[in-house]
Amino acid sequence: MTYMQLVTVHLATIIPAIFLGAYLLSQSKGTATHRAIGKLYMSLMVITAGVTLFMPAYVGPQLFNHFGIIHILSFVVFFSVGRALYAARQGDIKTHRKNMVGLYVGGILVAGVFTLSPGRLIHGWLFG
């Protein structure tokens, strides 16, 4: 895939995840709807994190001429989703909640702030 194709897939997964995650955080927990939307949200987050691993970092220091500091967030997403899913299945709602809130804050809000950094694609699109 080309870089722009990867960006397109990334945006196609992260944009709905932004809204689904906000919905999940604001609505009743434990319902069938919560579980169904939660599975979709987690799937979108894992896909988007996977896609980002194929996108080279163009800002900041690089490892192997590809990975940058922002790629750490991809691994945080994998860990958080796995931990949250395991916790929910074990009935450990406190750990599930902590990981899901952390996933939204770190995987969406913090990463979103990084996209506004000078030299990044979204910064260029928004601020020319």
- Segment 23-68, tens digit of pLDDT: 999 998 889 999 999 999 999 999 999 999 999 876 666 777 778 8
Sequence ranges of the domains in the chain = 3-127
Angle between the 3-26 and 32-52 helix axes, to the nearest 10 degrees?
A: 150
CA 121-4-105 angle, to 5 degrees, is 55
pTM, 2 dp: 0.86
The DSSP 8-state label assigned to residue 70 in this structure reads T
Distance in angstroms (rounded) separating the CA atoms of residues 63 and 57: 9
Question: Residue 126's pLDDT is what?
Answer: 81
For a pLDDT cut of 70, what percent of the chain falls above it? 96
Distance in angstroms (rounded) separating the CA atoms of residues 95 and 97: 5
Q: Which residue has the higher pLDDT, 68 or 90?
A: 90
Distance in angstroms (rounded) separating the CA atoms of residues 5 and 99: 30
Bridge partners of 67, per DSSP, are: 63
Question: Residue 60's pLDDT is what?
Answer: 64
Distance in angstroms (rounded) separating the CA atoms of residues 70 and 75: 10
The pair of structure tokens assigned to 84 is 């949250």
- Looking at every residue in the chain, the average pLDDT score rounds to 89
Distance in angstroms (rounded) separating the CA atoms of residues 108 and 70: 12
